[in-house]
Amino acid sequence: MTYGYVRVSTREQNEDRQLVAMRDFGVTDGNIFLDKQSGKDFQRPAYRKMLRKLKPGDTLIVKSIDRLGRDYDEILEHWRIITKEKLAAIVVLDIPLLDTRQKERDLTGTLIADLVLQILSYVAQTEREFIRQRQAEGIAAAQARGVRFGRPPADRPMLFPEVRGAWERKEISAREAARRLSIDHKTFLSWVGK
C-alpha cells in the first residue's frame, strides 16, 4: 500500500498543494492522512493512525521533510521506526535523494542520504525555533506600542457601584455580588482589585 501524510500547522492554512502532490504521485484520497497542527512532536492523531497502518513493504509519501515534523531528534527517530521497525519505505517528494525504495544504493549513496536527512531535520527544527522567536519578538514589540492582546474588558453593568458598595459593607458575599451582576465571581473580584 502507498500512504500519503499531509500536515499544516493551523486550521487556517491550506493543504491543497500537498494534496495535489499526493494525488499526482498516485496516492488515493482514502490513503491520505491529514493533520492540522504543529509539527513540534509526533502526537498527532492522523499521523499515529497512519503509523499503525504501515506494514512491511508499504510506502509513505510526504511532500517535504518539515511536513513530517519539526523536531530534529524525533524526525530521525520516526524515520528509523518507519524504515527499520515497520520495514516500510519513505519518499520525500521535494528531495528525490530521500527515497528509501532505492535498494541499489551503495554505501556512499546511503551515507549521503543519511546526511541530507540529518541536515534537513536540523533545518526544520531551526525554522520552528526561529518562528517562535519571531512571534515572541513581534508580541513584545506590539505590547511596547500599547497593543493589548486577548478579549477586550467587559463593560461593567450599571448596578456595579451599588453592588460593590454592598459587598464592601459586607452585606453580601463576592459570589452573591457576581450573581446579581450576572458575571463570574472571579471577574467581580478582579473588578474590585482582589
Catalytic machinery residues: 9
Within 10 angstroms of residue 21's Cβ, the number of other Cβ atoms is 19
Nearest CA among 43, 41, 89 for reference residue 62: 89
| Single-letter residue type at 103 | K
d(CA 96, CA 13): 25
User: Where do runs of H (alpha helix) occur along 13-106?
Assistant: 16-25, 45-53, 65-68, 72-80
For the record, the C-alpha cell of 192 comes out as: 474590585
* H/E run at residue 58: none
